A and B are shown apart, each in its own frame.
Chain A
Amino acid sequence: MSIFEDITAIQNIIYIVASILFISGIKMLGKEDTAVKGNFLSAFAMFIAVLATIIFIVDPVILLGGILLGAIIGSTIALKVKMTSIPEMVALFNGFGGLATFLIAWSEYNSIPDNYFQYLLVMVTLYIGGVTFTGSLIAYGKLSEKLKVAKTSIVTKIFTTIFYGSILFLIFSILLPFLPELGFNFFTVLLAITLLGGIGFVLPIGGGDMPVVISLLNSFSGIAAAFAGLLLLNNVLIVAGSLVGASGLILTVIMAKAMNRSINNILFVGYASVSKGSSSEEQGEVSPINVADAFLILESASSVLIIPGYGMAVAQAQHVVRELGELLEENGTEVKYGIHPVAGRMPGHMNVLLAEANVPYDVLAEPDDVNPIMDSVDVAVVIGANDVVNPSATEEPGSPIYGMPIIEVHNAKTVFVLKRSMSSGFAGVQNPLFFKQNTRMLFGDAKESIGGLVSEFKD
């Protein structure tokens, strides 16, 4: 055995160890008590996998320089970013992973594939990686509110067309070796149309559907890495990539189920083309309430359930909400938070915001936990949530959101809805909750309203 073979053997053993550590790491990441350790384990796995690879490095100066620069940039962003901006940072990092696989496929294409199967892998890896990259950038723009393009705008329509065109062009590229010579540089076109197609993939998808898209893009980045592993004949890339692909897929399914919609409907149809529900315009009168009266009701409540939504994120009200929760508890009230899986703009968005405001995670309950005990709740406080508490989902078979699992706040004794105006939620469906007998509307900015309640409690 030559030294070269020895090193390859050692490298493969390290890759197997890294794969096992990745598997345990991601498993531990799925449980609250072990999540931090799981993340460390997978970081360690990454470390040894990279170390084992560096042995064979071709051009140390360029590549180690790349790692160093990437480490500096990545760490700076990760440590400096505000906690509330974490959702969009995750989207951005995800995009960079996609870009890396896109570049790997590009490089392998330039090295001239040995056989058709390799060629096929190059095309598929390039496409998934590229779409993940630009798609994640658009998701980043939407989450950070830097990008505002209407679904119906001409720009969106053009990019959506390019997206479908890019799929056709990918198929064409895959079949190209079987076609007569065409005499134009198809590969440059493929590079460009893939990147533009990624934009068109995410651009038409509305804010409330973002949790699904983000999870799907997450899954894509893993699948792209796994395909790159097939291309480079590297087992640790395949295992780690597949794990990410699987976890992203699970999250995607959880999100889609929480909306009772198919993934196809979310990605390619959207709410707009669902026929408008049967709900009539005449819904009756809403009963507004002011802060002082709301305070009196809250003060005498023995159990309160807080249901946050995207509105809480927009108003950055999580800190005053936590303060209100603490004051209520000091007053002897039992306080819980009802968190809907798709509340907010990404999976677990509300959990991250509330954790940032120091709300312990064991007072956060899922719909299945709070719905059975809803009639014992004295006051349900809905903060900037709409569709996830819309009783049409259980009561009106004609409604576009019928069948979506909701937090059934309308069964609570009293419901406070904190809202800026009477506009409907993301789904564009009128919410009968606002017109129920037991509902009181507290109009205004959520942060100011809650702040008002907090100062009432303090006086």
Chain B
Amino acid sequence: MEIYALLGFVLILSIYLGLELISKVPSTLHTPLMSGANAISGIALVGALVLSTDSNLQSAIAFLAVLFASINVFGGYLVTNRMLKMFKKK
């Protein structure tokens, strides 16, 4: 259980850090921030890669998890980049 206490601490600290870091965002960046953050949530890919594949069902679940997390990662970063490239200063 000790490990959960430690990781729980990391969780709380990271959320607090996130709230502090991004508290003021110009509205121009609302969509890109969301889209960029969304790409980061594709970090689930790291979790998906270590899933067990010891039965057909488990293999199928692991494969789909990797597939959808990858779509999220690649699609998310590319869309964010495309969007940010549009924003120009005068």
Chain A residues with CB under 8 Å of chain B are: 22-23, 25-27, 29-32, 35-36, 38-40, 42-43, 46, 49-50, 53-54, 56-59, 62-63, 65-67, 69-71, 73-75, 77-79, 81, 83, 86-87, 89-90, 93-94, 96-97, 99-101, 103-104, 106-108, 110-111, 115, 117, 214-215, 218, 221-222, 224-226, 228-251, 254, 339, 341, 346-349, 351-352, 355-356, 358, 360-364, 366
Q: Which of A73, A97, A104, A233 is in CB contact (< 8 Å) with B38?
A: A97
* Residues of A contacting B14 in the complex (Cβ-Cβ under 8 angstroms): 226, 238-239, 241-243, 246
* A65 near B7: Cβ-Cβ < 8 Å: no
Contacting A at CB under 8 A, from B5-47, are 7-8, 10-11, 14-19, 21-47
* A49 near B46: Cβ-Cβ < 8 Å: yes
Q: How far is the CA of A365 from the CA of B14 in the complex (A)?
A: 32
Q: How far is the CA of A39 from the CA of B73 in the complex (A)?
A: 12
* A241 near B31: Cβ-Cβ < 8 Å: no
Q: How far is the CA of A247 from the CA of B17 in the complex (A)?
A: 10
* A58 near B27: Cβ-Cβ < 8 Å: no
* Residues of A contacting B47 in the complex (Cβ-Cβ under 8 angstroms): 100-101, 104, 225, 228-229, 231-232, 234, 237
Most buried by B among A231, A235, A242: A242
Given that A35-B29, A74-B74, A225-B44 are contacting pairs, would A27 and B21 also be in contact in the complex, using a CB cutoff of 8 Å? Answer: yes
28 intermolecular pairs with C-beta atoms under 8 Å apart:
A23-B21, A26-B40, A29-B33, A32-B26, A46-B39, A53-B49, A57-B49, A62-B62, A66-B48, A66-B66, A67-B66, A74-B74, A78-B79, A81-B79, A86-B31, A86-B83, A96-B75, A104-B48, A111-B58, A237-B44, A242-B14, A243-B40, A245-B15, A351-B28, A351-B87, A355-B86, A355-B87, A364-B27
Q: Which of B19, B34, B36, B52 is in CB contact (< 8 Å) with A215?
A: B34
